[in-house]
Amino acid sequence: MKKLLLIVVLGLLMSGNSFANDNRKCINETGFVDDKFNFSKTIKFEDPENTLIFMYHHGGAADEARTSDCVFSEEYLKNAIKLTKEDFGTKYSFLYVVNTKPFYGDAYKDRKNKTKWKAFPVGEYPGKTKIEKKIDLINEINENFYSQGIKPKNIITTGHSNGGYASLLYTARHPDKVRGAIAYHPACCGKLTKFDIATEKGRKKWLKAENWKCPIKEKGKYPCAEAFWTFRSKIIDEIKSNKNLKAVVIHNNDDPYDGDYSEWLKDIKTVKFIETTGKKDKWKINGKSCKSWKPFGHNVHTSPCMSEYFPEIIAYFK
């Protein structure tokens, strides 16, 4: 009986960190990942004051919040792990991944009525969005690190896509709580940028309501899209308001989810804006390919060429 119980427990543990019927290792939890892709929920720091933590936030907006997804695969994190091995001026460096796939914005799911969105007035979002919940979680995690002796200057918050936006917003809002941010291809609200709905200049080509499965309270209006347009504008304004924002932005003009929608970040003089190579250079830099997952422009951070940009990132933070 004890042997059977042990087998069951081991099976549950393995299923929590890997895809069923998939050879890829997969981490769906929050915690530390080392260069062997081993996962630990906690670590005892030998020398907290000489330890740097990269806190990594995955992409995915509300329409992609499926808890069954592989959140952190080896392919997705390989360059983030490599970056921790570079010299940032501390003796120890760790990658800490944060899983927020189970999070939903308060308007996204009406579980009682089994609809994708709750009905709400145009331009008003009921409760907290997913990215705001991420900000709360980052604060909670940081407070835990501080209690273990880690200094704010030794935490760099990083993220891809929507996770990149969360990193920028957190750093703009709480510059005294982290050394800075690394945003890989930041994209705010999933499909909004892809469909030219929420640009900084205000172009509004509203998605049809049926595309969002959004209950309409006001005839001829699109409350879900407009709420996100309003929210995105507020995020941009808040990030812009920090004239001393400490951040590196990894960008690509061929990114269908972002593209030229992050050009406004160039106006913040303290931000290091790194434009990665794309179609015009045949996705190559110094003989290394910048092609990885599709769409290529949105996932250069997982490609073989990403290490070519490491020196600029390191120099910025040292």
Residues 241 and 267 sit within 8 Å (Cβ to Cβ): no
CA distance 229 to 125: 11
Task: Indicate the range of 8-12, 152-156, 294-298 predicted with least confidence.
Answer: 8-12
Q: Quick check: helix, strand or coil at residue 282? A: coil
Instruction: Give the mean pLDDT of 294-312.
Output: 95
Residue 110 has pLDDT above 80, yes or no: no
CA distance 222 to 73: 36
Range from 16-25, 61-70, 269-278 that averages highest in pLDDT: 269-278
Q: Where do the H-state alpha helices sit in 68-222?
A: 74-84, 130-147, 162-173, 191-194, 209-212
Residue 195 has pLDDT above 90, yes or no: no
Residues 273 and 238 sit within 8 Å (Cβ to Cβ): no
Residues 190 and 86 sit within 8 Å (Cβ to Cβ): no
The CATH superfamily of 47-317 is Alpha/Beta hydrolase fold, catalytic domain (3.40.50.1820)
Residue 100 has pLDDT above 50, yes or no: yes
Peptide bond into 295 cis (omega under 30): yes
Q: How confident is the model at residue 60 (pLDDT cuts 50, 70, 90)?
A: confident
Phi, psi of 178 (to 5 degrees): -145, 165
The single residue listed with the structure tokens 């579980």 is: 111
pLDDT at 274: 96
pLDDT at 193: 46
Q: Where are the domains of the chain?
A: 47-317
CA distance 140 to 133: 11
pLDDT at 17: 39
Instruction: Give the mean pLDDT of 56-76.
Output: 74
Burial degree of 7 (CB within 10 A; 0-12, 13-18, 19+): exposed
CA distance 193 to 63: 13
Residues 54 and 94 sit within 8 Å (Cβ to Cβ): yes
Q: How confident is the model at residue 225 (pLDDT cuts 50, 70, 90)?
A: low
Q: Express as a percent the part of the chain with pLDDT over 90.
A: 57
pLDDT at 175: 97
Burial degree of 104 (CB within 10 A; 0-12, 13-18, 19+): middle
Neighbours of 216 (CB within 10 A): 15
Range from 197-206, 220-229, 237-246 that averages highest in pLDDT: 237-246
Instruction: Give the mean pLDDT of 64-70.
Output: 58
